[in-house]
Amino acid sequence: MRWIALSAGAYLAFVTALLPADVAWRWLAADDLRLAGVQGTVWSGRAALASAGPVGFRDVRWQVRPWSLLLARPQGLLETGLGDGFLQTEVRIGGSDIVLSGLTATCSLSVLASALPIAGIRGQVSLQLAELVLRDGWPASARGQLRLNQLAVPSLVGGDPIALGNFNVTLSGTDGLQGAFQDQGGPMEVRGSAGLTAAGEYDISGLVRARPEADAALRRGIELLTGAPDADGMRAFSLTGTL
């Protein structure tokens, strides 16, 4: 009986893997996933365009490991264009969790504008994550590095965006996204911590001070949004909210 069950499972996995991708994704995909221009099979295929919630993708390619279908825990490689950048990762699906490992991605922040707490923010973001766990479609934990380059935010009084510089975030949390950040040069010195819970609540706090090359608009913004300076000239700040 064990051999019969194993053979039946292998046959079912084989048949499933050979299903045309444009048929299978309608059965298997989450409600907020959209694909267009689908070709290939569940085993190996591509889609010209895709969207997951508010985020769009292009030239999506996947390669599923055959044995993972037999174990009912699909696992494979995923590559996709992401706005003006790309994303590459290994994907493992089990229960309500989607685990992304060896994830590398880069794109402009404008691609992610609908998911960001500050409207009009500019810059480039890059990710190198050892692991990212999505639970019911929301980040449950992440380990790795996030880098923000040429970050700029809209001026509170109008005019040109205010350049903030470059920053590095080390992610190491287990309850949503938790990490520590620090500037990598630029017009202001900053360090602190940030967190995003499973409920979508974010908390960003730290210390900041303007460097000599900071322009007047940045200095005014820091003074407006922070407390009084300490003996080293560092000012405390805190931002909280819900995505």
Q: Of 75, 94, 111, which one is at a domain's C-terminal end?
A: 75
Give the whole-number percent of the chain exceeding pLDDT 70. 78
What is the CB neighbour count within 10 angstroms for residue 155? 15
pLDDT of res. 182? 95
* pLDDT at residue 15 tops 60: no
Q: Do 177 and 127 reside in the same domain of the chain?
A: yes
- pLDDT for residue 235 is more than 60: yes
Q: Which of 115, 221, 237, 222 is nearest to 159 (CA)?
A: 221
Residues with Cβ < 8 Å from 15, sequence gap 6 or more? Answer: none
99 and 60 inside one domain: no
pLDDT band, very low/low/confident/very high, at 23 (cuts 50, 70, 90): low
Mean of pLDDT values over 135-156: 85
The residue range of the domain holding 144 is 83-243
Asked if 14 and 120 sit in the same domain, the reply is no
Residues 173 and 238 in one domain: yes
Domain count, the chain: 2
239 and 156 in one domain? yes
Residues 64 and 40 occupy one common structural domain: yes
- Both 200 and 94 in a single domain? yes
Mean per-residue pLDDT for 129-146?
87
pLDDT at 81: 92
pTM to 2 decimals?
A: 0.77
Q: Which pLDDT score is estimated for 29?
A: 57
Last residue of a domain, one of 35, 53, 75: 75
Say if CB 104 and CB 90 are below 8 A apart: no
Q: Do 94 and 200 sit in the same domain of this protein? A: yes
Q: Based on the fold, state whether residues 88 and 28 are members of the same structural domain.
A: no
- Residues 88, 61: one domain? no
Burial 17-53 (b: 16+ CB within 10 A, else e): bebebbebbeeeeeeeebbeebeebbbebbbeebeee
Question: pLDDT by residue (tens digit) across 149-199?
Answer: 998 887 766 667 888 899 999 998 666 788 899 999 889 999 999 888 777
The residue ranking higher by pLDDT, 243 or 76, is: 76
Same domain membership, residue 211 and residue 135: yes
Distance CA(66)–CA(144), nearest Å, equals 29
Residues 94 and 173 in one domain: yes
The confidence score (pLDDT) of residue 169 equals 93
Per-residue pLDDT, 58: 87
Domain boundary among 58, 75, 92: 75
Q: Kindly report, residue by residue over 69-86, the tens digit of the pLDDT.
A: 666 677 889 999 988 899
